[in-house]
């Protein structure tokens, strides 16, 4: 028992003097696009104001949902601290079980999500929550991500509009 404790103590002392390993290099836009192309669809949170407008349209029996379709910010944003500043992030989930319950989500193709991010004037960062971790990319990388996703086989067609609920933990 004492020998094992001495071995652990020696290991801890030896590790104290070592510098931490360098941070891994971020993936290239080409790698991000290729990874995104592996997902058949993404789920994007609908903003609370758009969701409220849609519910009002349903209650008013406005089946065209005219008021909801005119909302300027249809998708919800997350906020991250980047360089000490709050940054709006357009988020997508690769599955409904990764999205918090019970938020409303719109299914999209990968290219549809990339176009929506490109058209979003508020978000300068996109994040795709996947089972192995979140994939982030910037607006500056968007053109290269779109091209790489297309080259890797991501379809350009939009999915028909639908609504699902997140099923992850609250």
Q: How distant, in Å, are the alpha carbons of 22, 41, 46 from that of 153?
A: 33, 13, 26
> Each residue of 114-138: pLDDT tens digit?
999 999 999 999 999 999 999 999 9
Distance (Å, rounded) from C-alpha 76 to C-alpha 9? Answer: 50
Token pair for 13? 């002392």
Q: Place 31 in a pLDDT band, splitting at 50, 70 and 90.
A: very high
Q: Place 50 in a pLDDT band, splitting at 50, 70 and 90.
A: low
Closest CA to 113 of 133, 129, 131, 102: 129
Closest CA to 92 of 103, 84, 34, 60: 103
> Each residue of 84-112: pLDDT tens digit?
999 999 999 999 999 999 899 999 999 99
């Amino acid at each position: 028992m004492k020998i094992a404790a001495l071995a652990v103590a020696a290991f801890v002392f030896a590790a104290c003097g070592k510098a931490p390993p360098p941070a891994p290099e971020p993936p290239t836009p080409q790698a991000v696009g290729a990874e995104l192309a592996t997902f058949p669809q993404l789920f994007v949170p609908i903003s609370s104001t758009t969701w409220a407008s849609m519910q009002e349209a349903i209650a008013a029996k406005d089946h065209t949902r005219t008021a909801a379709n005119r909302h300027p910010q249809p998708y919800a944003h997350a906020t991250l601290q980047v360089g000490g500043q709050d940054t709006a992030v357009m988020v997508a989930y690769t599955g409904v079980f990764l999205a918090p319950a019970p938020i409303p989500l719109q299914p999209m193709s990968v290219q549809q999500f990339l176009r929506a991010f490109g058209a979003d004037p508020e978000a300068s960062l996109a994040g795709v929550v996947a089972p192995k971790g979140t994939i982030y990319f910037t607006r500056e990388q968007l053109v290269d991500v779109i091209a790489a996703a297309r080259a890797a086989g991501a379809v350009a067609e939009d999915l028909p509009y639908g609504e699902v609920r997140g099923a992850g933990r609250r």
